């Protein structure tokens, strides 16, 4: 029961069709309601025009009646009924003489507040009788019974009939508008449903891909969802990169760890097969060296994979680092090891800031790998020097040794994965300089393998210098 209640409270899944229909139908319904309102006011304007014409005709008719000799200024009962008749109430009229005052009428009607020209067409205006709004027509004509006198004739009616006619016109058009609403809603529904059908071929094609992480392509992708498919293609590219790194790491680990693990197994079998103390010590020594080699290979494989991870920031996203502060600290951390190995480790550089965009931890890893490489191949009794200098818009970090060096034929191959100089120490993994190359590429830096002046190997990293900026704090 609790699971059912939680499922009932779960929000509905977003629907593109429902969203499109909402954004289309609500405005359409609003427009149709507005059309009905406008239609009513148009009908009211038409009704007002017709009634205003009738009102003007009534004023003209009354003026003719007043001017008739037969009437002598009086209205018959039939004429009065025709003027006053209104199904919803009464109509009003008044005839006022300039000389004699009010002559006939059934109400005191106010004038328009502006002069009315004699013998002109009736003038229409809005007025009121008490709290009842009226529409009136007024005109001035000469009094033929009394030369020199002018009569003001006013005829008025209430507004009920006008609104009644407007509503009747609106109700006559409502069925047509209702039919229009149904037709529009049906067309919108059909249009949305048919329009979303263009996604079906793309959906079917993606459903058949299986584990394929290739680009979706754009041949059957609507323009409106191209940004989405391009984003998915970018995601697929990152996933392919990650899977490629994973597969490469597994293959490299299997290849590089096979030899030391096989050697460990062989020497363990020697231990089990002999009781000779000398052979047992020799076997244990081999096991120790092979285990250390396997551990170092694993660590460097992981380090190389980390440097190629797409999750790391690119060069433009890195903080500003002062290498004049980072490099001496990294060198100082290796002094004790250098003394143990009998290597003369030194640093050359001044206090001038060397600002670059970099990851301080990766810079330290570069120095560690270059120093380890120099320690390993130079050997006891030799010197290793780390230097830092400015050179034409670049900051150059260099590590050199006075060891046996590398032949020209092999300089271009340094930095390749698992490459070891022929005739060198087989305990190396061939990954240290590859890690340096990978980190340099992420930092937009250039790596150069050169002969040192003392005959050994010199490795230079050329970082683009930063003109100014506040260096980020670094932690050791």
Together in a domain, 77 and 132: yes
**pLDDT (0 to 100) of residue 1:** 47
Domain boundary among 167, 183, 214: 167
Its pTM stands at: 0.47
Q: Which domain holds residue 404?
A: 315-464
Dihedrals phi, psi of 398, to nearest 5 degrees? -130, 145
Please name the helix (run of DSSP H) or strand (run of DSSP E) that holds residue 464, with its range, or none.
strand 457-464
Give the span between the Cα atoms of 274 and 449, in whole angstroms: 48
Strands (DSSP E) contained in 108-216 are 123-129, 132-142, 150-158
Together in a domain, 331 and 284: no
Together in a domain, 354 and 299: no
Together in a domain, 295 and 338: no
Q: Is residue 213 part of a domain?
A: no
Q: Which residues are CB-contacts of 454 (< 8 A; sequence separation ≥ 6)?
A: 383, 400, 401, 402
Q: Which residues pair with 126 in a beta bridge?
A: 135
Together in a domain, 276 and 358: no
**pLDDT (0 to 100) of residue 71:** 44
**pLDDT (0 to 100) of residue 454:** 83
Give the span between the Cα atoms of 134 and 342, in whole angstroms: 117
Chain mean position to CA 434:
39
DSSP symbols for 430-463:
S-HHHHHHHHHHHTT-EEEEEE-TTSSEEEEEEE
In 3D, which of 366, 374, 335 has the Cα closest to residue 447?
A: 366
CATH number of the CATH domain containing 136: 3.30.450.20
Contact 122, 59 (CB under 8 A): yes
Together in a domain, 64 and 136: yes
**pLDDT (0 to 100) of residue 463:** 92
Give the span between the Cα atoms of 106 and 27, in whole angstroms: 52
3-state secondary structure string across 217-280: CCCCCCHHHHHHHHHHHHHHHHHHHHHHHHHHHHHHHHHHHHHHHHHHHHHHHHHHHCCCHHHH
**pLDDT (0 to 100) of residue 396:** 92
CATH number of the CATH domain containing 298: 1.10.287.130
Together in a domain, 338 and 390: yes
* Residue 417 to residues 252, 305, 389, Cα–Cα distance (Å): 9, 12, 29
Together in a domain, 330 and 442: yes
Q: Is residue 188 part of a domain?
A: no
Together in a domain, 269 and 338: no
Together in a domain, 230 and 353: no
Q: Is residue 437 part of a domain?
A: yes
Together in a domain, 322 and 302: no
Q: Is residue 204 part of a domain?
A: no
**pLDDT (0 to 100) of residue 386:** 92
Q: Is residue 470 part of a domain?
A: no
Contact 333, 476 (CB under 8 A): yes
Together in a domain, 234 and 351: no
Domain count, the chain: 3
**pLDDT (0 to 100) of residue 255:** 55
CATH number of the CATH domain containing 414: 3.30.565.10
In 3D, which of 299, 429, 316 has the Cα closest to residue 365?
A: 299
In 3D, which of 242, 212, 243, 217 has the Cα closest to residue 230?
A: 217
Helices 77-84 and 16-67, packing angle to 10 deg? 160
Q: Is residue 360 part of a domain?
A: yes
Domain boundary among 307, 333, 353: 307
Domain boundary among 167, 194, 209: 167
Q: Is residue 89 part of a domain?
A: yes
Contact 328, 347 (CB under 8 A): yes
Walk along the chain (476 residues) in steps of 10 and give the mean pLDDT of each run.
52 69 78 83 88 88 70 53 54 85 82 84 89 89 83 88 85 82 80 75 75 73 76 78 66 61 78 81 78 69 63 68 90 89 88 87 86 85 90 89 83 73 61 81 87 87 80 55
Q: Is residue 21 part of a domain?
A: no
With H, G, I as helix, E, B as strand and everything else as coil, classify residue 102. strand
């Amino acid at each position: 029961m609790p699971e059912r209640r939680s499922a009932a409270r779960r929000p509905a899944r977003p629907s593109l069709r429902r969203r499109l229909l909402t954004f289309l139908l609500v405005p359409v319904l609003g427009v149709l309601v507005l059309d009905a309102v406008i239609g009513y006011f148009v009908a009211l304007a038409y009704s007002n025009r017709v009634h205003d014409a009738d009102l003007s005709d009534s004023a003209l008719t009354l003026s003719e009646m007043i001017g008739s000799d037969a009437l002598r200024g009086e209205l018959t009962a039939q004429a009065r009924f025709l003027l006053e008749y209104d199904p919803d109430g009464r109509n009003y009229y008044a005839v006022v003489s300039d000389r004699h005052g009010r002559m006939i009428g059934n109400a005191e009607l106010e004038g328009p507040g502006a002069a009315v020209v004699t013998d002109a067409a009736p003038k229409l205006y809005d007025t009121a009788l008490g709290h009842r709004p009226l529409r009136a027509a007024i005109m001035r004509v000469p009094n033929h019974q009394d030369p020199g006198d002018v009569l003001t004739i006013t005829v008025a009616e209430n507004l009920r009939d006008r609104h009644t006619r407007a509503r009747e016109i609106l109700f006559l058009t409502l069925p047509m508008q209702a039919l229009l609403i149904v037709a529009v809603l049906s067309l919108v529904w059909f249009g949305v449903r048919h329009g979303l059908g263009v996604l079906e071929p793309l959906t079917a094609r993606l459903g058949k891909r299986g584990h394929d992480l290739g680009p979706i392509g754009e041949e059957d992708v609507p323009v409106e969802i191209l940004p989405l498919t391009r984003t998915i293609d970018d995601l697929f590219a990152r996933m392919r990169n990650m899977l490629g790194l994973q597969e490469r790491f597994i293959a490299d680990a299997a290849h590089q760890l096979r030899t030391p693990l096989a050697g460990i197994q062989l020497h363990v079998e020697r231990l089990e097969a002999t009781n000779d103390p000398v052979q047992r010590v020799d076997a244990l020594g081999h096991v120790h060296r092979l285990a250390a080699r396997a551990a170092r290979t694993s660590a460097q494989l992981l380090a190389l994979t980390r440097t190629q991870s797409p999750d790391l920031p690119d060069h433009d996203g890195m903080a500003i680092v002062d290498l004049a502060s980072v490099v001496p600290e990294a060198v100082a951390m290796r002094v004790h090891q250098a003394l143990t190995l009998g290597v003369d480790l030194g640093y050359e550089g001044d206090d001038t800031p060397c600002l670059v965009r970099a990851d301080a931890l990766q810079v330290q890893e570069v120095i560690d790998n270059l120093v380890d490489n120099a320690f390993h191949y130079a050997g006891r009794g030799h010197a290793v020097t780390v230097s830092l200098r400015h050179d034409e818009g670049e900051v150059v970090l260099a590590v050199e040794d006075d060891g046996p060096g590398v032949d020209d034929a092999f300089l271009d191959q340094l930095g390749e994965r698992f490459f070891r100089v022929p005739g060198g120490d087989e305990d190396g993994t061939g990954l240290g300089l590859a890690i340096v190359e990978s980190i340099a590429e992420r930092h937009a830096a250039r790596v150069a393998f050169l002969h040192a002046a003392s005959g050994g190997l010199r490795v230079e990293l050329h970082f683009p210098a930063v003109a100014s900026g506040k260096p980020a704090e670094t932690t050791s």
